[in-house]
């Protein structure tokens, strides 16, 4: 029976499993008896990945079928500093899972920074989870956050760019009608302060992620990077979501209403 290796981001963990990505995502979100609900996000990791940090030899010993022949759903290998010790080139597809177990796979793609948008909103996912308003595009943002010469930094970062719509260019008067963020006035204040102070590149909006993510607020995609490498997982367009990924998209739109 085939074994898979996954890097879970919510929470951070390295997990071996005999379930392929869609089944694994469903298992993470709702369990085996469908009594739990919760979003999940994870990378599939190249099965040839070798490491001196993780005990990879444990996989063949511990990730084995149950006595009745059913596959081993998960065997945790590590829950600490996982992203830091997995080379970015070993990451394969990224999977977003709704709280009722629908799975959307994203492949790596090109990133083109917008020249018009002067303000951005980023939700950090792993290893830290603040929501940050920024003057940086995604590439410059990850380089800034992983710069070890700065007082505060992380070795690598997974983060999402969220929609700002009109607030990206006019934080004071821009419309916020389609933005479901809590305390929108506080967000406006943070963006306005950034807009008025060119010497300040980032401002924390929320210190940590307090609830499930509204997938519909994802703007351009999900990013992972460090000082040397930057990877973009483009999010489907609205047309693609409605036509090709309708079941997942319908589930994503009703998060929090189950």
Give the DSSP per-residue string, 143-156: HHHT-TTSSS--S-
3-class secondary structure, 138: helix
> Is there a domain that residue 36 lies in?
yes
Given 106, 128, 155, the domain boundary residue is: 106
Residues 222 and 172 placed together within one structural domain of the fold: yes
* Two tokens, residue 130: 């603040």
- Name the more confident of 53 and 37: 53
Q: Is residue 248 part of a domain?
A: no
The tally of domains found in the chain comes to 2
Task: State whether 172 and 144 are in the same domain.
Answer: yes
87: three-class secondary structure by DSSP: coil
Residue at 112 is within a domain: no
Other CB atoms within a 10 A radius of the CB of residue 55 amount to 12
With CA atoms as reference, report the closest residue to 145 among 87, 85, 227, 77: 227
| Six token digits for residue 26 | 């469903």
Residue 245 lies in a domain: no
What's the mean pLDDT in 90-108?
A: 97
- Specify whether 91 is located in the same domain as 144: no
* Total Cβ atoms within 10 A of residue 32: 10
Q: Is residue 146 part of a domain?
A: yes
User: When comparing pLDDT for 209 and 83, which is higher?
Assistant: 83
User: DSSP readout, 37-81?
Assistant: ---EEEEEE-TT---SSS-TTHHHHHS---TTSPPP--EEEESSS
Residues 127 and 101 in one domain: no
Residue-number span of the structural domain to which 189 is assigned: 120-238
101 with 135, same domain? no
**Whether residue 228 is found in the same domain as residue 179:** yes
Residue 65 within a domain = yes
Q: Is the residue at 247 inside a domain?
A: no
Q: What is the DSSP string of 179-218?
A: ---SSHHHHHHHHHHHHH-TT--EEEEESS--S---GGGE
* Tens digit of each residue's pLDDT (9 = 90 or more) over 189-218: 999 999 998 889 999 999 988 777 899 999
pLDDT at 34: 61
Phi-psi region of 69 (alpha: psi -120 to 50; beta: other; left: phi over 0): left
Co-location of 127 and 234 in the same domain: yes
**Do 132 and 231 have their domain in common?**
yes
Do 100 and 129 fall within a single domain?
no
pLDDT for position 117: 81
């Amino acid at each position: 029976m085939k074994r898979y290796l996954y890097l879970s981001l919510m929470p951070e963990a390295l997990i071996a499993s005999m379930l392929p990505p869609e089944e694994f995502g469903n298992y993470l979100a709702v369990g085996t008896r469908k009594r739990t609900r919760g979003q999940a996000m994870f990378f599939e990791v190249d099965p040839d990945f070798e490491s001196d940090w993780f005990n990879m030899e444990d996989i063949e010993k511990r990730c084995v079928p149950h006595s009745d022949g059913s596959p081993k759903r998960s065997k945790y290998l590590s829950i600490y500093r996982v992203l830091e010790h997995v080379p970015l080139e070993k990451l394969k597809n990224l999977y977003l899972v709704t709280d009722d177990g629908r799975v959307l796979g994203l492949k790596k793609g090109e990133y083109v920074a917008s020249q018009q948008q002067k303000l951005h909103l980023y939700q950090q996912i792993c290893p830290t989870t603040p929501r940050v308003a920024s003057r940086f595009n995604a590439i410059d943002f990850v380089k800034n956050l992983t710069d070890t010469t700065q007082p505060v930094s992380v070795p690598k970062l997974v983060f999402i760019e969220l929609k700002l719509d009109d607030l990206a260019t006019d934080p004071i008067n821009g419309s916020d009608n389609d933005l479901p963020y809590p305390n929108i006035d506080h967000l406006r204040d943070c963006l306005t302060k950034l807009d008025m102070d060119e010497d300040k590149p980032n401002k924390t909006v929320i210190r940590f992620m307090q609830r499930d993510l509204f997938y519909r607020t994802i703007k351009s995609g999900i990013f992972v990077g460090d000082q040397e490498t930057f990877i973009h997982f483009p999010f489907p367009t609205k047309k693609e979501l409605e036509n090709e990924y309708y079941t997942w998209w319908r589930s994503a739109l009703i998060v929090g209403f189950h």
